[in-house]
Amino acid sequence: MRMKIIIWVMFFGLIVNLSGCATIFGKANPEAVNIKSTPDLADVCVTDEAGAKIFVGTTPTVVSLEKKRGYFGGKTFKVKISKQDFTDQIITVDTQPGGWYILGNFIFGGLIGWLIVDPLTGAMWTLDNTDINVNLEQQNLPAPIITPPSSPTVPTPPLTPELKPQKSSMIVKPGINAVLLQDVPENLRSKMVRVIQ
């Protein structure tokens, strides 16, 4: 009877030592990341450390990110949030060893959990940022250039003796000419057109 108890205790101890604490208690691989922005409906592009696109969509969204990159390797992600007329924002999401991996394997899992099980399953890693909420800043756009409406071109009549200025100091150029009313002959004053601006 005593031998059976010893065998069961050893079997239970072997099972505990062959399992990793982060694998049992930690967050599974992959891990969800909530991405929100103000204003909504901003474009989201998530790339990994190699520059490969992992996700493309719009805010608000939830993205599942794989944490493990090989044995004892964690992944790094860049989350780019952009919207027209707003400044783009890039947030880095990195992996770090989780608390269950560090403390749990120290107490329960032992070396097998630290060196084999949790690194192989990726459960040793946790994401450092699982809730991204970004306030996009509006870009300083240049003021629009407003051009005044163009006035219709009025053809200049040819200079006839009656249109020639009475004062010799006046210079007449083709186009619209401004003259004083007193310089316009009486017979042409009825043909004048008032220009209102």
Q: Give pLDDT tens digits for 120-179.
A: 677 777 789 999 999 999 887 666 666 666 655 555 555 555 555 555 455 555 666 666
Alpha-carbon dihedral 136, 139, 140, 144, rounded to 10 degrees: -130
pLDDT digits (tens, 9 = 90+) for 9-50: 666 555 554 444 445 555 557 889 999 999 999 999 999 999
- The whole-number pLDDT of residue 134 equals 94
How far from 138 is each of 89, 130, 141, 143, 191, CA to CA, in Å?
12, 25, 9, 14, 56
- The whole-number pLDDT of residue 34 equals 95
Question: Which residue type occupies 6?
Answer: I
Angle at 84 between CA 80 and CA 88, to 5 degrees: 30
Phi, psi at 7, each rounded to 5°: -65, -45
* Of 105, 95, 101, nearest in space to 68 by CA: 95
Spatial neighbors of 119 by CB under 8 A, at least 6 apart, are: 71, 72
Q: Name the DSSP class of 159.
A: P
| Its pTM surpasses 0.85 | no
Maximum C-alpha span of the chain: 140
End-to-end CA, the chain? 113
How far from 162 is each of 165, 174, 188, 189, 192, CA to CA, in Å?
8, 16, 8, 12, 14
- CATH architecture assignment, domain 2-135: Sandwich (2.60)
| Domains of the chain, residue spans | 2-135, 156-197
Mean pLDDT, rounded, of the chain: 75
Spatial neighbors of 143 by CB under 8 A, at least 6 apart, are: none
- Where would I find the H helices in 41-129? 99, 110-112, 118-121
